[in-house]
Amino acid sequence: MLDVLATAGPGVGLATAGPGVGLATAGPGVGLATAGPVEALADRAAYLVAVVLVGLGLHVVVADRNLLRKVVGLNLFQTGIFLVFVAAAARTGGRSPLVVGPDGGPYADPLPQVLVLTAIVVGVSVSALAAALVVRIDAEQGTVLADELDAGQREVTERE
């Protein structure tokens, strides 16, 4: 199966004969077959950090009662996803993706960077709005704990 997936030059795949990113590499690059377990983990450190951030953020969103901490948990989750995008874009032994434009000059494809930058701006805006809502909820209800807000809502509906 690896013979079918093997490439003769630089690239991305499960098995590469030259520099590239893959699970088994015959030349310089990032691979599990050419490096020991410590080197393989060091090469994938960004992915490990991203998994920790996503897991921690998801845990905070699900398990914590404090609404402001839930907003921070969403930010941790989002940061982990951004780190995955950035880590996936990195290539060992690669070069910038140059494309000949309509005027004949080279330019770099900015789409991945623009998508992450846009997501960061949207994420900061949503976080600011959520924090403002939490402050308003605290001013109106006197608490930011989800359980207490839910109990207060039950009392209001029982009175009606």
Order of strands, edge to edge, in the sheet holding 6-7?
6-7, 15-16, 24-25
Q: Is the CB of residue 109 less than 8 Å from the CB of residue 97?
A: yes
State the total domains in the chain. Answer: 1
Q: For residue 126, what pLDDT is reported?
A: 96
CA Rg value for the chain: 23
Taking the chain (160 residues) in consecutive chunks of 10 residues, what is each chunk's mean pLDDT? 40 42 44 68 87 96 94 95 83 62 58 84 96 95 89 72
Q: How much is the pLDDT for 43?
A: 77
Distance separating alpha carbons of residues 123 and 108, to the nearest angstrom? 26
Asked if residue 148 belongs to a domain, the reply is yes
Residue 145 sits in which domain range? 45-92+108-159
pLDDT score for 97: 62
Is residue 9 one of the residues assigned to a domain? no
Q: Residue 128 falls within a domain, yes or no? A: yes
**Is 65 part of any domain?**
yes
Sign for the CA dihedral angle at 136, 58, 48, 15 comes to: negative
29 within domain boundaries: no
Q: Is residue 82 part of a domain?
A: yes
| Residue 94 DSSP SS3 | coil
The CATH number of whichever domain residue 146 belongs to comes to 1.10.287.3510
pLDDT of res. 71: 96
What predicted TM-score, i.e. pTM, was given to this entire model? 0.63
With vertex at residue 91, the alpha carbon angle to CA 101 and CA 116, rounded to the nearest 5 degrees, is: 70
Pairing of strands 6-7, 15-16: parallel
Kindly list the distances between the CA atom of residue 22 and the CA atoms of 42, 93, 101, 103, in Å, as whole numbers in the listed order: 15, 12, 30, 36
Answer whether residue 124 is part of any domain. Answer: yes
Tokens found for residue 128: 């600011």
Q: If DSSP codes are grouped into helix, strand and coil, which group holds residue 56? A: helix
Residue 35 domain-assigned (yes or no): no
